[in-house]
Amino acid sequence: MKEIEWKIKIQLNILAFLLATAGTLCFPQILNLKENSLGFTNSIFSIFVWLLCFYAVKISLETIDLGDKRAWRIAALLAGLFTAAMLFGVRLDSVENVNFKDVGLWVSLPVLTCLFTVLVRKFWNFLGGMEEKRAALAAGGIGARAPRFKGKTADLLTFLFLLLCWLPVLLAVYPGFFVYDAQEEYIQVASRAFTTHHPLLHVLLLGGIICAVHKATDSYNLGIACYILFQMLLVSGSFTFLLSYLRRKRVSGILRLISMLYFGLFPVIVMFTLCSAKDALFTAALLVLLVCLLEMNQDSDAFFASKGWIAVSGVSAVMMMLFRNNGRYAFILLIPFLAAYQKRYRKRAILWAVLAILGCLLINGGLKLALQADDSENQEILTVPIQQLARTYKYEPQVFTEEDVDTLHEILPEEALVLYNARLSDPVKYRFVNEAFSADKWKYVKLWVKIGLKKPLSYLNAWLMTSYGFWYPDTVINVYAGNSVFTFTYEDSSYFGYEVELPGVRDSKIPWLDELYRRLSLEIEQEKVPILSMLFSPGGLFWLFAFVFSYMLYRRKYHIIMPCLMVLAVWATVILGPTYLPRYVLILWFALPLFAAVLLEEERFEKVV
């Protein structure tokens, strides 16, 4: 018996040696090194990487269940997608192109996938061990302490604490971050000329509050600040709702305290809470919906018997869809999975979802009719095709015949095409000729298909370039580099739109704090700090959520998967958008405490049978 165990141990050591060696040799393929750089290969650092890999793989192989095929398949899928993201992302970030003929890419893909698969399995094993220990403590009478404050008192204190954390920053950046199409939305209300380019409900809220306060006080700044205060109340309410839910689930007080401090102080949360863009209200509604989905699938009997839960979930779903169109698409994507899981309450779940969609359509349609809003624009839903045609025209012009060029110029004039920016579709998209496209849509669809069949990899690279920041963790968000706005020009970073668009004017009451947020928004200091930088990375947080999803899939915790699916559905809609910015995936930050609680205290969210 000992001889067999010894042979198995030797075999595992040999496997660990080979995998660690191959992985170390392939690591430069996922590092953003300058061309011909010896920073990794000609460095003792590579030895430390090999030792770490060998030790991690050896320990993993010795402690995990090698015969669990289902776990290996799920882990391999996650690891393979992550490896592909790293291999593609480093090339897109450095040369704006993935060369699919690169042998190093295709050799590294299976090698690094195998390495990361083993590490994923080991971490799953570690999390499973943590759950067993917590279950043993609970069985022995040791569990989460009873909260010091209960019910409404705790909720009120949480709500006020968050507002108190944000108020000094509001004073510092007074009247708030009035940016990301804010001026355009305000002008729609001021001029009574509405379009569906932006969600009409948000246009009315933003412009209506500013106009009303300006009329009463003759101050645009005060009007902007009043809107920001209104938004702060709603966002604080959504965070309080989540923390109250975690308290009722008896999630540990330490985790809830960390979550509350995170909501109150973490810069990304604060930035967007004080930003006039629709993203904060959309994400606040989405966060409430995620909690409702978790409760719906954890305890379906109680949920569908509760008018309160049904009302809150329905209102949050409608509001989420009204504040961003992609929310509607993501919600529709969720319905088949919800219907498949909710076998006992399938009809009620489908009815709930359909009524929410109808409510959104009726409200939006009513606003459009009442405001006589223009809906002739097409470029928002054609962002990807526009970029694909523009990129191919720039780099592969020979595939266009003279007739093709004439057809292309009808919808994208030459002055638009020369502005092609691989990371941002706006320069070309804003010059799209909607009238020509609407007159003969099939003519231009045929052109797009024709060119795509000739240069499919050019089309693929065009799409990857506007989306890779959402899935490549090492991305530096700088899509607006060189663009001048009202008060500055983007240089090192365009992480956040630190701006007050007219008619507002920056009037800081706490200049040093204002400067801190300016640096966080427009410089890359936080991205130079190892580990901490990943908390600011959309791509980094995405893979954290993907890990939670795959782990819950492996554990067959399908009731927890539903809110994960909603987050992934929102993410899937934004990768078809004009560029990658943190504001489009703000839910990755807002929902982080919820999924941290689910991952670290899984037993609190067991399915009620």
CB 450 within 8 A of CB 404: yes
- Axis crossing angle, helix 279-298 with helix 325-341, rounded to the nearest 10: 0
Per-residue burial over 482-518, b if 16 or more Cβ lie within 10 Å, else e, is eeeeeeeebeebbbbbbbbbebbebebeeeeebeebb
Strand partners, 489: 484
227-250 average pLDDT score: 97
Q: What is the pTM of this model?
A: 0.94
- Mean pLDDT computed over 574-599: 96
Least confident segment among 99-103, 123-127, 416-420? 123-127
- In angstroms, the Cα distances linking 109 to 60, 94, 469, 535, 546 are 20, 19, 20, 26, 19
Band (3; pLDDT cuts 50, 70, 90): low
Kindly write down the DSSP assignment for every residue of 51-71, as one continuous string: HHHHHHHHHHHHHS-TT-HHH
Minimum mean pLDDT range among 42-51, 475-484, 553-562, 596-605 = 42-51
Q: What is the pLDDT of residue 146?
A: 46
What is the model's pLDDT at position 427? 92
pLDDT at position 36, please?
A: 57
- Of the pLDDT bands very low, low, confident and very high (cuts 50, 70, 90), residue 14 is confident
Sign for the CA dihedral angle at 538, 541, 545, 546 comes to positive
Closest C-alpha to 322, from 292, 277, 365: 365
Of 12-21, 294-303, 427-436, 562-571, the range with the lowest mean pLDDT is 12-21
Nearest to 353 by CA among 389, 328, 371, 378: 328
Stretch 557-577: mean pLDDT, rounded? 94
Q: Which amino acid appears at position 429 of this protein?
A: K
Does residue 148 register a pLDDT over 90?
A: no
The CA-based dihedral angle spanning residues 61, 63, 65, 71, taken in that order and rounded to the nearest 10 degrees: -70
